[in-house]
Amino acid sequence: MTKAKHAWKRWAVVGSICLATAGLLGADALARPHGRECGHDGLGRLERLEGRIDELELDAEKKTAARQVIERARAAQEPQREQMKAAREQMHALLEQDAPELDKVLAQADAIGALATARRKEHLRMMLELRALIGTEQWKGLRPHKGRGHW
């Protein structure tokens, strides 16, 4: 393979990765106005969850405990949100360079992925804690209907 073909393929791969990453980051920014995880109604996931908790037939003690679980999750999300914002800004800075280094871009993509995974795990911990707290029957009433949201 000639040097020109090899260089062209390398730039094609780097360009593809940059475009894909920029597309993912742009789509994520558009999907979360004002840096919050918002739904179509402008409420974040935790706010909608609190509303659904309030609609359940739970005694006051369980409702209070459920709200505390959600509040702990909210408090844990803020530093995670800031870390994700910083990681995305670093990615944008890398991609804005005239010739982004592939290894640095991929390492930053891994860092963003690790942060996203940590956020997802924290959310799952909260959901499982709520499930154990409110019981199976109430949990069934809390879960979104098919086609309406997800965990």
Whether pLDDT at 34 is above 70: no
**pLDDT of 47-81, one tens digit each?**
888 888 888 888 889 889 999 999 999 898 889 99
- Let me know: does 38 contact 32? Beta carbons within 8 Å: yes
20 φ, ψ (degrees, to nearest 5): -65, -45
44 φ, ψ (degrees, to nearest 5): -75, 170
Name the pLDDT band for 5 (thresholds 50, 70, 90): low
pLDDT attached to residue 136: 85
What is the domain partition of the chain in residue ranges? 3-142
- Let me know: does 112 contact 120? Beta carbons within 8 Å: no
Whether pLDDT at 38 is above 50: no
32 φ, ψ (degrees, to nearest 5): -125, 80
Q: Look over the chain and give the mean of its residue pLDDT values, rounded to a whole number.
A: 79
State the pTM of this model.
0.63
